[in-house]
Amino acid sequence: MSKLLILGAGQYGKVAREIAEAIGNFEVISFLDDNSPSAIGNLCDYDKFSDEYDTAIVAIGDPELRLGLLQKLKEFGYIIPILVHPKAYISPSSVIENGSFVEPMAIVHTDVKIGAGCIISAGTIVNHNAVIGCGCHLNCGTIIGARAVIKELVRTNCGQIIE
């Protein structure tokens, strides 16, 4: 089993931890965060934990910071997972890039492409052949129509519909 390091112990970090726990593939899950007493170190301390943790993901709301830290983790040799809650539906023909996480009850349909470092929140539907750029956050209940293209770093509102 792997040991997972989550960068960011706030709301997204807690979501990522719960998804990782539901998956059940990690023997240890710890946080790095600059402002949390539950963290084992600061965000910039990822280099100090590479001998102990093999896997890391970034769970921070700022998409540019999220993507930048993912790149640093990758360069440092961490495995960057895709975290998908067991209660999400992911089509076998869809492609989700590393560093993304998918919350419960989300649907990622046929031939969808989701870029690196995305957050696909609970109840979101991404319909067939849609393309989601890197660093996006599709908030709760977002509906992305068939063949829609969402550029990088977009954050949708809850319940937003994009056709």
| pLDDT confidence band for 33 (50 / 70 / 90) | very high
Handedness of CA 88, 140, 120, 42 (dihedral sign): negative
The per-residue b/e assignment along 17-48, b for 16 or more CB within 10 angstroms, e otherwise, is bebbeeeeebeebbbbbeeeeebbbebeebee
- Domain end, chosen from 75, 93, 127, is at 75
Domain of 10 in residue numbering reads as: 2-75
The answer to whether residues 88 and 43 belong to one domain is no
The answer to whether residues 99 and 63 belong to one domain is no
Residues 131-151: tens digit of each pLDDT: 999 999 999 999 999 999 999
pTM, to two decimals: 0.96
Domains in the chain, number: 2
